[in-house]
Amino acid sequence: MVKKIIGRCYIYLILILMYLPVLVLIAFSFTEATNVGEWTGFSFNLFPRLFQSEEIMTALANTVIIAITSALAATILGTLGAIGAFYSKKRAREAIDLATQIPVVNAEIVVAFSLTVMFVFIGNIINVYMFSFWTLLVGHICLSIPFVYTSVKPKLQQMDPSLYEAALDLGASPSKALGKVIIPEIMPGVFSGFLLSITLSLDDFIVTAFTRGSGLLSGEKKIETLSTLIQAKIKKGPIPPEMRALTTILFVVVILAVIGVSIYKNRQDKKEKTRRAF
């Protein structure tokens, strides 16, 4: 009993401590003071100010564009890679598995630095300034591609191999069997790989800061994402007040996502239970 109380208190204490900085920021998103810790009266003004800030909105749009394009590319490449490796010979498969581990364990700064040095190196040889949206895209794909591979692989292993053969027996062409049998079977893995790629890309700072060039909505200037913009701001001073409003919005989205996921999981559990009951 005592253990139960201590355990629960401990869990909630750490949870509160982990959320404290974000919660404080959210609380101060309803006042217009420049610093956290000063309360200058309740106001909603930061929210309209956030949407009027061209700088933040540009960065936000850039971030979303990069996240979606890099996640799509990484998901396609990673899924095809996982399928291909799964049907390769054992030695080739093991080699690909091991190679996939390299960017997973590699430090982000090394990924960023090495890619950038390579782009500079090639740029010097062909006398072209390489940095643009494309180098940034490659950087982000490098970050997320191994995670797509590792989330698709277990689904391929769990798949019933006779399903594919049954499809062939029933007259499906191999490519149709791939599209109608294998892909739907591994879809949950593909989807979680995609989501993971999006979160990795949204969160990334180092690779973005190193590999970006000009382009997208930033036009002639270097591409600014939320991470790089916030970093530039907080290097000079406290988090800009508008960013506090942004935190509140992000937080609400995250909490809604958590609620959505848990409802979905509960439903799936119930389905599983009723399926087992039959």
Partner 1 sequence: MKSNEAATKTPKADKKAKAKRFFALQRKYLCIPYIIFFILFIFAPIVIILFYAFTYEVVDPATHTAHFEFSWQPLVNFFTDPSKINVLFVSLFIATITTLICLIIGFPLAYFLADKKINKNAVLVTLFVAPMWINFVLRTGATRDLLTWFGINGGTHPYLATIIGMVQNYLPFVILPLYTTMTKLDKSQIEAAGDLGANPAQVMFKNIIPQAIPGIVSACLMTFMPTMSSYVISDVLSEGKITLFGNYIELEFTNKAWNDGSFMAFVMLLFIAVTMFISQKFGKDDEKEAGQW
Chain positions 44 to 83 lying near partner 1, rule: CB under 8 A, are 77-78, 80-83
Q: Quick count: other Cβ atoms within 10 Å of Cβ 248? A: 20
Residue 8 is a binding residue for partner 1 (CB under 8 A): yes
Interface stretch with partner 1, choices 48-56, 64-72, 93-101, 212-220 (CB under 8 A): 93-101
Nearest distance from residue 44's CB to partner 1, in Å?
A: 20
* Cβ-based burial of 197 (10 A; exposed 0-12, middle 13-18, buried ≥19): buried
Instruction: Considering only the stretches 47-55, 125-133, 212-220, 238-246, report the one whose residues sit in contact with partner 1 under the rule CB under 8 A.
Output: 238-246
Question: With contact defined as beta carbons under 8 Å apart, do 163 and 180 qualify?
Answer: no
Q: Given phi > 0 = left and psi -120 to 50 = alpha, else beta, which region is 227?
A: alpha
* 210 near partner 1, judged by CB under 8 A: yes
Per rule CB under 8 A, is residue 145 in the interface with partner 1? yes
- Selected binder of partner 1 within 179, 199, 221, 268 (CB under 8 A): 199
Among 57, 109, 128, 166, binds partner 1 (CB under 8 A): 109
Using an 8 Å Cβ cutoff, are 198 and 73 in contact? no
Which region, judged by CB under 8 A, interacts with partner 1, from 48-56, 64-72, 107-115, 125-133?
107-115
Among 149, 181, 201, 218, binds partner 1 (CB under 8 A): 149
**Residue 113 binds to partner 1 (criterion: CB under 8 A):** yes
**Long-range Cβ pairs for the range 79-83 (8 Å, 24+):** 79/148, 79/152, 79/186, 79/190, 79/193, 81/145, 81/149, 82/148, 82/149, 82/152, 82/153, 82/156, 82/186, 83/152, 83/156, 83/178, 83/182, 83/186
Binding mask 20-49 for partner 1 (x = CB under 8 A): xxx-xx---------xxx------------
For residues 78, 79, 80, 83, the Cα torsion angle rounded to the nearest 10 degrees is 120
Residue 147 interacts with partner 1 (CB under 8 A): yes or no: yes
Three-state secondary structure readout of 214-236: ECHHHCCCECCCHHHHHHHHHHH
- Joined tokens for residue 19: 């959320």
Q: Should residue 265 be labelled a site residue for partner 1 when binding is judged by CB under 8 A? A: yes
Torsion on CA atoms 35, 37, 41, 43, rounded to nearest 10: 60
Minimal distance in Å, beta carbon 261 to partner 1? 7
| Chosen residue from 53, 69, 132, 192 binding partner 1 by CB under 8 A | 192
User: Residue 37 CB, nearest distance to partner 1 (Å)?
Assistant: 4
Using CB under 8 A as the binding rule, whether residue 262 contacts partner 1 is answered as yes
Should residue 255 be labelled a site residue for partner 1 when binding is judged by CB under 8 A?
yes
Q: Rounded to the nearest whole angstrom, what is the least distance from the CB of residue 160 to partner 1 in the complex?
A: 15
Q: Which listed range, 39-47, 113-121, 125-133, 216-224, lies at the site for partner 1 (CB under 8 A)? A: 113-121
Q: Is position 96 an interface residue for partner 1 (rule: CB under 8 A)? A: yes
Q: Under 8 Å CB-to-CB from 217, ≥6 apart: which residues? A: 58, 61, 62, 65
